[in-house]
Amino acid sequence: MSARKIIIDTDPGQDDAVAILLALASPEVEVLGITAVAGNVPLPLTARNARIVCELAGRRDIRVFAGCDAPMSRGLVTAEHVHGKTGLDGPQLPDPTMPLQDTHAVDFIIDTLRAEAPGTITLCPIGPLTNIATAFRRAPDIVERVQEIVLMGGAYFEVGNITPAAEFNIYVDPEAAEIVFGAGAPITVMSLDVTHKVLVTGPRTEAFRAMGTEPGRMVAEWTDFFERFDKEKYGSDGAPLHDPCVIAWLIEPTLFSGRQINVEIETKGTFTQGMTVADWWGVSGRAPNAFFAGDVDADGFFRLLTERIARL
Ligand code: BDR
Ligand code: CA
């Protein structure tokens, strides 16, 4: 089977970095480009971090594009309290030397969807949905050309992580999320309900460190850094590896289970802005618009991730 063509839209972020490494290590997917968006940290840093990760994987050939530097209609909220000042705090990493592409990320997304055969490009947003929604707004013709959108964002049973009701990626740009969920393209959602089940516990971190490779050491040190926040907050054994779930789904979907349901985005609520109102129990009568993953084989996920990172 030929590799699935993907565009990773990202705001690295240590867990974004692991997702990018997983994709670059996996022959099942072909990364056509990486588009950076403002999110965990401002855009100059996410565009820098994406290139650092490509260089770490020995993939200077991957094209990295900078996209939107702020949500569609509100100010940027960042997450340095989780990811550190650079977004990739933890190990010391050199500045990237590979260039950023001149083309804007939104233009790259539009041009690629128009150039490739319809139904052959999968979008993998693992940050706020600003770049994707801006592309859909500017070029509505591309929506029906998308094979699938597989995104990390939202939550239902786990409710929120940045507010009591909202998950970070959706909260940062709910208007963008509303456009994407309403667009009509097939959507798969990796929400906190799933990502909070893939925890990097001590032995799992040690498996990365024991590889004795630079990428293995980086994954271990990144997770050492950002797990301090979640361990303290949730009292859990380790940090959730949110974003790699998107890539793992593309490689081994049988690791996950879920339901085809209706998901709406709250953009106006006083306390609930950015909430994903996920009709898990089918009580709304609204038409399903997304496959919402609810469970994951965490051991299988780490087996896959460890095996792939060891290839780099
Ligand atoms: C999401 O928010 C970011 O902090 C992570 O990179 C992930 O994409 C989890 O809520
Ligand atoms: Ca992210």
pLDDT at 26 (0 to 100): 98
Q: Which of 9, 64, 11, 5 is nearest to 38 (CA)?
A: 11
* Residue with tokens 């797990």, as numbered in its chain: 227
8 Å CB contact between 236 and 227: no
Q: Which atom of ligand 1 is nearest to the CA of 11?
A: 6
The mean pLDDT of the chain is: 96
Tell me what the mean pLDDT of segment 253-262 comes to: 98
pTM (predicted TM-score): 0.98
Is the beta carbon of 152 within 6 A of some atom in ligand 1?
yes
Is the beta carbon of 168 within 6 A of some atom in ligand 1?
yes
Is the beta carbon of 40 within 6 A of some atom in ligand 1?
yes
Q: Which of 290, 96, 82, 90 is nearest to 177 (CA)?
A: 290
Q: Domains plus CATH for the chain?
A: 4-309 (3.90.245.10)
Distance linking the first and last C-alpha atoms of the chain: 22
- Residue whose CA lies nearest to ligand 1 atom number 10: 168
CA of 102 to the centre of ligand 2 (A): 23
The pLDDT tens digits for 117-171 are 999 999 999 999 999 999 999 999 999 999 999 999 999 999 999 999 999 999 9
| Residue 117, both tokens | 């055969």
pLDDT at 78 (0 to 100): 98
Name the E strands within the chain.
4-10, 29-36, 64-66, 121-125, 146-152, 187-190, 199-200, 239-240, 256-261, 263-265, 276-278, 290-296
CA of 285 to the centre of ligand 2 (A): 32
Is the beta carbon of 230 within 6 A of some atom in ligand 1?
no
Mutation choice for ligand 1 from 131, 150, 161, 168, CB with most ligand atoms inside 8 A: 168
Is the beta carbon of 291 within 6 A of some atom in ligand 1?
no
Catalytic residue numbers read: 242
